[in-house]
Amino acid sequence: MDITYPITIALAKTWFRVADMKINMTGTEHIPREGGALLAINHLSYVDYLMAGYPGEKQGRLTRFMAKREVFDHPIGGPVMRSFKHISVDRSAGLESMERAEEAIRAGEVVGIFPESTISQSFLIKELKTGAVRIAARADAPLIPVVLWGTHRILTKGRKADLSRHQRIDIEVGEPMYPTGEDPIAETAELRSRMEAMLDRLILATPAEERPEGAWWLPKQYGGSAPTIEEAAAAYAEERRLRAQRKAAARKKG
């Protein structure tokens, strides 16, 4: 029985109303009202879990998100995540995490996955991992692309939170795919292509006054100053190198 999840949803909807947030959603009918499904969601910010669950809520569904194990290890966040029945992802044991997701979907749950794995600092669709199509194929379930736009302006990596009122969030739920798993690379490329087209629609649907030249929240190809996919990838690689370096230094001290 779910107790904390519905309460959190109610609190989130209160926030949306108080902040007069303008949430525009299309395609929610693609999320089934019953039965298992896998949602493949782009990753722009730290509030994506909250926003990406909204389309399912409109269909009377609770989305069980796949999230990195470190979140579950947190003394406060861990119990909350488990109470929501979210799924822990241990990157060193990926197959086990996929099996848990598959089991949840076969049990009739809607599961959410971020196939980019990390936040896209270019705000475009990064290269996707093949896990999404493989899980959907193994579970014999629809794979439904969900693309968010605007969440990064609230809280994203390297930026201070902006909780100002009247923020605009756009969400498009795409038509389901039915992967076979016979060619995960090609099916993942198709998923990325669909998500890129969806993101393009959402960005171009944003009023011109919210797309000022040089804005940090706009990808370069749309006139903004966000890093390119290549620049963001290089920055992420450097970040991982420094993190590994710090861990190695800590081990030596220990």
pLDDT value for 254: 66
pLDDT value for 223: 96
Provide the whole-model pTM: 0.93
pLDDT value for 58: 96
Find the radius of gyration of the CA atoms of the chain.
Answer: 18
Cα gap 147→199, rounded to integer Å: 6
pLDDT value for 6: 93
First-to-last C-alpha distance (Å) of the chain? 44
pLDDT value for 68: 86
Place of tokens 């794979």: 143
Q: What is the pLDDT of residues 123-140, one digit of tens each?
A: 999 999 999 999 999 999
Q: Cα torsion for 129, 131, 136, 142, to the nearest 10°? A: -20
Q: What is the pLDDT of residues 187-246, one digit of tens each?
A: 999 999 999 999 999 999 999 999 999 999 999 999 999 999 999 999 888 988 888 888
Q: Answer yes or no: is pLDDT of 92 > 70.
A: no
pLDDT value for 242: 87
Quick one: what percent of the chain has pLDDT higher than 90?
80
pLDDT value for 44: 98
State which amino acid sits at residue 48.
D
Q: What is the pLDDT of residues 23-48, one digit of tens each?
A: 999 999 999 999 999 999 999 999 99
Q: What is the pLDDT of residues 143-200, one digit of tens each?
A: 999 999 999 999 999 999 999 999 999 999 999 999 999 999 999 999 999 999 999 9
State which amino acid sits at residue 211.
R
Q: What is the pLDDT of residues 51-89, one digit of tens each?
A: 999 999 999 999 999 988 888 888 888 888 899 999 998
SS3 letters across the chain: CCCHHHHHHHHHHHHHHHCCCEEEEECHHHCCCCCCEEEEECCCCCCHHHHHCHHHHHCCCCEEEEEEHHHHHCCCHHHHHHHCCCEEECHHHHHHHHHHHHHHHHCCCEEEECCCCCCCCCCCCCCCCCHHHHHHHHHCCCEEEEEEECHHHCCCCCCCCCCCCCCEEEEEECCCECCCCCCHHHHHHHHHHHHHHHHHHHHHHCCHHHCCCCCCCCCHHHCCCCCCHHHHHHHHHHHHHHHHHHHHHHHHHC
- Cβ pair 97, 117 in contact under 8 A: no
Cα gap 204→220, rounded to integer Å: 13
Domain 4-253 grouped into CATH 3.40.1130: yes
Domain boundaries, the chain: 4-253
Cα gap 239→231, rounded to integer Å: 12
Q: Answer yes or no: is pLDDT of 90 > 90.
A: no
Residue 7: burial class (beta carbons within 10 Å; 0-12, 13-18, 19+): exposed
Q: Which tokens in the block code for residue 212?
A: 């000022």
